Structure 1
Amino acid sequence: MRIDKWLFFARIFKTRNRAVRNIEKGLVFLNGKRVAKQSQVIKIGDGIIVKGSKEILELTVMDFGIRRESYDIARHMYDNTVKEIQESGKETDSRGLSESKQSIRPDKKDRRALIKLKRASNSLKEE
């Protein structure tokens, strides 16, 4: 079966055109190698990796479909492992950028304390 049809039948992509576009972008891998053409033939037991913006899907082909079925039926066509992409988030936390961004803007309690402090310092200056 063609990989673009299988990705569409297994409901990995909403349309077959999206499956083809992601294959052309180089975001789909078959058994560790980038898929060059949407007509690449797959067989049962093949490993497919699909890179998304927030996650990486690692799929093992378990079955083929003859048409696009409901999600309950389609999810039996593959064995799934999802890996969240968090490397970039971990790097920003380790450098402390996310904490410094939060400390730039005070919350309501801190704002009230600052206002109280400014009023107290202004009253001292007037005397």
Structure 2
Amino acid sequence: MGNERQRIDKWLFFARVTKSRTLAARMAQGGHVRVNGTKISQASHEVKPGDVLTMTMPRRVIVYRVLECGSRRGPATEARALYEDLSPPPPPKAASALDRASGRREPGSGRPTKKERRAIERLTGED
């Protein structure tokens, strides 16, 4: 499909890892990309089929094996043909307080409901 070698910023853009080529260049220059285990610092670094890219993204690490070089930024199905995903599975999510809370609580705990407040008002004579 493409040439034997390709600039890393172009490849990241064509593979839809980043939204723009400028962001891909910043990612490479910022030290967020490793090619075959070696940290790169230039967007002009060339990749070839068989290279393993390790990219640190916010909140996760992505590991791709380059299968081929791209010729354009096409649809997602075309982009997925450029790499093999070797990323480790994400860690299991810990149950958060919101997930555990089903909106119910033990009877008698917390603030009284509207029905309970009315019953209290009837007992105390506050109308």
* TM-score tier after normalising by the smaller chain length: 0.5 to 0.7
- For residue 63 of structure 1, report the CA deviation from its aligned partner: 0.9
1:58 aligns with 2:67: no
**Aligned equivalents of 1:7 and 1:70: distance in 2?**
14
Contact 1:48 1:58 in 2 (8 A): yes
Instruction: Output the aligned Cα RMSD.
Output: 3.3
- 1:34 matched to 2:39? The reply is yes
Partner of 1:9: 14
TM value normalised by structure 2? 0.67
- The one-letter code sitting in structure 1 at the alignment partner of 2:11 is W
Q: In structure 2, how many angstroms separate the alpha carbons of the residues matched to 1:82 and 1:45?
A: 15
Does the CA-based 8 Å contact 1:55-1:82 persist in structure 2?
A: no
Contact 1:62-1:77 at 8 Å conserved across structures: yes
Q: CA deviation at 1:50?
A: 0.7
* TM value normalised by structure 1: 0.67
1:4 aligned counterpart, secondary structure: helix
1:82-101 matched pairs, under 5 angstroms: 82-83=87-88, 86=91
The amino acid of 2:62's aligned partner reads: L
Measure, in 2, the Cα distance between the counterparts of 1:39 and 1:45: 18
| Residue number in structure 1 paired with 2:84 | 79
Unaligned 5+ runs, structure 2: 1-5, 113-127
1:43 — aligned with what?
48
- For structure 1, list consecutive stretches of 5 or more residues without a partner in the other structure: 91-97, 114-127
- Equivalent position SS for 2:10: helix
Counterpart residue number, 2:28: 23
Higher helix share: 1
